[in-house]
Structure 1
Amino acid sequence: MTQTLTIVDHPLVQHKLTLMRQRDTSTAVFRQLLREISQLLAYEVTRSLPMTTRSIETPLMEMEAPALAGRKLALISILRAGNGLLDGMLELIPSARVGFVGLYRDEKTLQPVKYYFKVPDQLDQRLTIIVDPMLATGNSSVAAVQMLKDAGARDIRFLCLLAAPEGVARMQEAHPDVPIVTAALDDRLNDKGYILPGLGDAGDRMFGTK
């Protein structure tokens, strides 16, 4: 399972995640922690961005300094909970292009159905990072990745807060070329598709709709 999976075990990430898991953590605190942890996770998911050099002038002399190369990366939020990770990442990478994928689950087929899709152009020339706090069954994530591939994306990474083994396996089977970065790999899914021990519904806790 570790083939494409990276678990960010930094102490600050793990401490903030523990605070988020607690049932009595308020909506405001949960939202703030999610913003903070998303920035820490962003360091890992962007670790291998392409680099170049450019000439700059310091107060003392000219130098060839490292700088990001290529087109601005694309951050793609899976609505609605993905926006919590998106907000924090945009503070770190304000020049990123942003897209949104809206999916809901058909109650009869249990398959994801697209209701919104708006993404940046030239995805074939951009690193594309999909953000969604929970990788549970993996059905929505697999569908979102396929939509982005169909839209031209070639270099895709998936960033989540929590992952279940079932979701990771589903993603690795459908999209073995997409690395997954997460703060924790939890135990399993319950019969309703929630991650255990998890932290509940990330969207509800973020927006106060529980």
Structure 2
Amino acid sequence: MPFDPPPVTSSDPSSSDPSSEKVILINHPLVQHKLTIMRQVETHTQDFRRLLKEIAMLLAYEVTRDLPLKKQTIKTPLAEMEAPMLAADKKMVIVSILRAGQGLLDGMIELIPTAKVGHIGLYREPTTLTAVEYYLKLPLDVEHRDMLVVDPMLATGNSAVAAVDRLKEANPASIKFVCLLAAPEGIQHFHEQHPDVPIYTAAIDERLDDHGYIVPGLGDAGDRLYGTR
């Protein structure tokens, strides 16, 4: 079944505001290089885990490009000045879709240590490929905070849709979905259900196979991250 190509915006800072677009492709050379190594079948678990953490930090850099700043008076060794600082009332919430989302969370939280963290557990029912929730734990003050939802793979989109369905009940100020790879089918399904939520991704691959895996992809991200099968 053919899919219309999704509208894509580059993460180049000279482009228009990415928050207004549906799909933001983070095509930084370091991201693309590290992703290529992750795709290779011979890449071992420890290297896969390290690279995912490194890419997560680079993705976080792009995803937070629109965070508001405020001026604060500080003293340098030479003079007093008005310097930009992150607005204190804009602390973020990062929600990891278990289990593979932990790989992205680990890198992002290192770059944004003040962010609150939530978890939502979903597994893919092997026959229908529908998402089944088994766990949800969010910080108490999620309401009106900006939220990043992280999962390395946007394949069928079922897990991402189910996660955002539940997280919208917490009434965050905004939601961005961040992944490493996306399939056109998953993008289409996700934005049919959540057209207001932008997707940030490092690559849009060709298609899904008959089992709902991204092709060419990189295999099962959770298995490669934790050395399981």
TM-score of the superposition, structure 2-length normalised?
0.88
1:52 is matched by which residue type in structure 2? K
SS in 2 for 1:183: strand
Partner of 1:40: 58
Q: Where in structure 2 are the equivalents of 1:56-135 lying within 5 Å? A: 56-69=74-87, 70-107=89-126, 110-135=129-154
Deviation at 1:200, TM superposition (A): 0.1
Give the conservation status (yes or no) of the 8 Å contact 2:68–2:90.
no
Partner of 2:217: 198
Partner of 1:167: 186
Q: 1:27 aligns with which of 40, 45, 51?
A: 45
Deviation string, structure 1 residues 135-166 (Cα, Å, up to 9, x no partner): 00001101101111011123000100000001
Give the conservation status (yes or no) of the 8 Å contact 1:142–1:174.
yes
1:4 is matched by which residue type in structure 2? K
Is 2:183 the counterpart of 1:183?
no
RMSD: 1.2
Deviation string, structure 1 residues 20-78 (Cα, Å, up to 9, x no partner): 00000000000011011111111111110121111111111111111111241000000
Partners in 2 of 1:144 and 1:102 — Cα distance?
A: 9
Structure 1 unaligned segments of length 5 or more: list them. Answer: none
SS in 2 for 1:83: helix
Q: 2:28 aligns with which of 10, 13, 36?
A: 10
Q: 1:140 aligns with which of 143, 159, 170?
A: 159
Give aligned pairs, total: 210
Structure 2 unaligned segments of length 5 or more: list them. Answer: 1-5, 8-20
Partners in 2 of 1:35 and 1:161 — Cα distance?
A: 11
Segments ≥4 residues shifted beyond 4 Å: none
1:189 is matched by which residue type in structure 2? L
SS in 2 for 1:123: coil
SS in 1 for 2:147: strand
SS in 2 for 1:34: helix
TM-score of the superposition, structure 1-length normalised?
0.96
Partners in 2 of 1:55 and 1:146 — Cα distance?
A: 42
Partners in 2 of 1:162 and 1:106 — Cα distance?
A: 21
Partners in 1 of 2:161 and 2:126 — Cα distance?
A: 18
